[in-house]
Amino acid sequence: MTRKSGRTALLWGAFLAAHAVVAWLGWVLPAQPMGDVVLVYQPWSSAALDSGAVVGITESWVYPQLALVPMLLAQLLAVPFTGALGPQAGYLIGWALLVTLCDLLGFAALVGRGGNRRRRMAAWFWIGALLLLGPIAMYRIDAVTVPVVIAGGLWLAQRPRVGAALLTIGAWVKIWPGAVVVAAIAAGRRSWQVLLSAASVTIVIIGVLLMLGAGGNLLGFLGMQTGRGLQIEAVGATPFLWLVLGGAARIEYSYEILTFQIAAPGADVVSALLTPLMVLVVAGILIVGVVRACGGAAWQRLLPPLTLALVTGLMVTNKVGSPQFHTWLIPPVILWIVFDRVRSRTAALLVLALCALTFTIYPLTYDQLLRAEALPVLLLTARNLLLVVLLVHAVRAVVRVPRGSATPT
């Protein structure tokens, strides 16, 4: 019991220390890795509190409406610090505390009392991924969805309705957790229960939003995503970056979307083709998953690689390549370690490498990337190629999921 308690205490201590380090790095590293928190999250939430201009309700918004909830909660947590440090510094601390609290809840769902070896290994993976990815793992709205997906994915095993409900709420914060719901349905884990739970939660959320006056802005986040250009960090933008390096293309800032995009002949065509390509890739992965489920593949062994394949497919075919997207890769690997540890090793190593490469690009060499210098372009190229390798590996793992029951979690 003493050894077990010591291991558990070490895990919790390392998890808290990792958050402290990553939160501090956000204050000292270049390229403003905390920029979105104070430049957009704080104004959006302040406007909702002060002027009644509520993004997603009174005006169209780039995120699903529930993304405003953590931004408002950060305002509450910032109150004790605002007087002494000012509104921006106070809000940054409030945001870091919010993400840490959410992660602690997710960590509790994962580790429990620390008795399960696979769950401890998954916890150490989370700690390593957090440190390797750096401040972007905390100072973006995506960070709030990570513990939601971890807890929801784990609960699919014993409480599929609760797990599906939590994942659906996460999808109304940032769309990507919906991939886990879709994967669970395709994997055959009480599919009708998962589907009905997700549909019920969605209906309730939509009803509340309509009563609040969302109306025509209800699905505005979908239209704003399709209207984006080709962001410089997207996989599809990689060849154009080399053209920028040679002077045949350029990088421009979009004030509408608040991101850097490629301006070059053919870039708009590639951007337009990526959305239908995404649909085809996701559909193809789901078909493979359903075939394997119908062939008797154990759902616990099928769900993690299928989720990882879907999430990676969304990233590879996305016209946006924001560094925070790499937080999406962490929960599927955690589920994979818990449900099928032996087959998770390659994916875990690939994701850790992707986190480290992403950190070297943003924020460490991002200013040089905007100037199209050779080193960050090379790093970004390697990162994007490795992302494609991860997609191939995940699909291959789905195809090779064995039949039969999985080991209990």
Tokens of 403: 């039949």
According to the model, what pLDDT value does residue 405 have?
62
Contact 308, 369 (CB under 8 A): no
Q: Are 348 and 125 in contact (CB under 8 A)?
A: yes
Closest to 27 (Cα-Cα) out of 85, 91, 92 = 92
Q: Which residue has the tokens 């305002």?
A: 75
Torsion angle of alpha carbons 36, 278, 151, 386, nearest 10°? -80
| Alpha carbon distance 87, 83 (integer Å) | 8
CB atoms within 10 A of CB 287: 11
> Is 404 among the domain residues?
no
With 0-12 CB in 10 A as exposed, 13-18 as middle and 19+ as buried, what is 358?
Answer: buried
What does the pLDDT read at residue 281?
98
Q: How far apart are CA 216 and CA 123, in angstroms?
A: 42
Helix (H) or strand (E) run with residue 252 in it: strand 250-254
State the average pLDDT over residues 213-242.
Answer: 89
Calpha distance 149→180 (Å, rounded): 8
Which H, E and C letters describe 342-354, residue by residue? HHHHHHHHHHHHH
- Look at residue 286 and tell me if it is in a domain: yes
Is residue 114, in this structure, part of any structural domain at all?
A: yes
- Per-residue pLDDT tens over the stretch 337-364: 999 999 999 999 999 999 999 999 999 9
pLDDT 10s digits, 85-142: 999 999 999 999 999 999 999 999 999 876 689 999 999 999 999 999 999 999 999 9
User: What confidence category does residue 325 fall into, taking pLDDT thresholds of 50, 70 and 90?
Assistant: very high
Number of residues in the chain: 409
296: left (phi over 0), alpha (psi -120 to 50) or beta: left
The verdict on residue 406 lying in a domain is no
pLDDT at 7: 87
Residue 256 lies in a domain: yes
Task: Specify the amino acid at residue 244.
Answer: V
Q: What would the mean pLDDT of 54-69 be, rounded to a whole number? A: 95
Alpha-carbon distances of 344 from 26, 171, 317, 351, rounded to whole Å: 30, 25, 23, 11
Residues 213-227: pLDDT tens digits? 999 899 988 877 666
**Over the stretch 163-217, which tens digit does the pLDDT of each residue have?**
999 999 999 999 999 999 999 999 987 899 999 999 999 999 999 999 999 998 9
Q: Token pair of 246, please?
A: 């040679």
**Do 59 and 217 contact (CB within 8 A), yes or no?**
yes
What is the total count of domains within the chain? 1
Give the model's pLDDT for residue 1.
Answer: 52
Residue 284 has pLDDT above 80, yes or no: yes
Confidence of residue 406 (pLDDT cuts 50, 70, 90): low
The pLDDT confidence band at residue 333, using thresholds 50, 70 and 90, is: very high
Tokens of 20: 């402290």
In a domain, 336, yes or no: yes
Q: By percentage, how much of the chain surpasses pLDDT 90? A: 88
Query: pLDDT-derived band of residue 260, with 50, 70 and 90 as boundaries?
Result: very high
- Cβ neighbors of 358 (< 8 A, separation 6 or more) are 133, 134, 136, 323, 326, 383
**What is the average pLDDT score of the chain?**
94
Percent of the chain scoring above 70 in pLDDT: 97
Amino acid 15: pLDDT: 98
Q: Is residue 409 part of a domain?
A: no
Tokens of 249: 């293309």
Which pLDDT does position 227 carry in this prediction?
63
Look at residue 354 in the predicted model and tell me its pLDDT.
98
**Token digits for 387?**
């992302």
pLDDT at site 76: 97
Please give the pLDDT value at position 3: 73
Which pLDDT does position 285 carry in this prediction? Answer: 98
Q: Looking at residue 319, what DSSP letter applies?
A: S
Kindly tell me if the per-residue pLDDT of 28 is higher than 60: yes
With vertex at residue 211, the alpha carbon angle to CA 210 and CA 217, rounded to the nearest 5 degrees, is 30
204 assigned to some structural domain: yes
**Do the Cβ atoms of 330 and 146 come closer than 8 Å?**
yes
Whether pTM exceeds 0.85: yes
Q: How confident is the model at residue 409 (pLDDT cuts 50, 70, 90)?
A: low
Range of the domain at 222: 2-399
Residues 6+ apart with CB under 8 A from 102: 70, 143, 144, 146, 147, 148
Q: CA angle, corner 153, sides to 149 and 155, nearest 5?
A: 120
Asked if 177 and 149 touch (Cβ cutoff 8 Å), the reply is yes
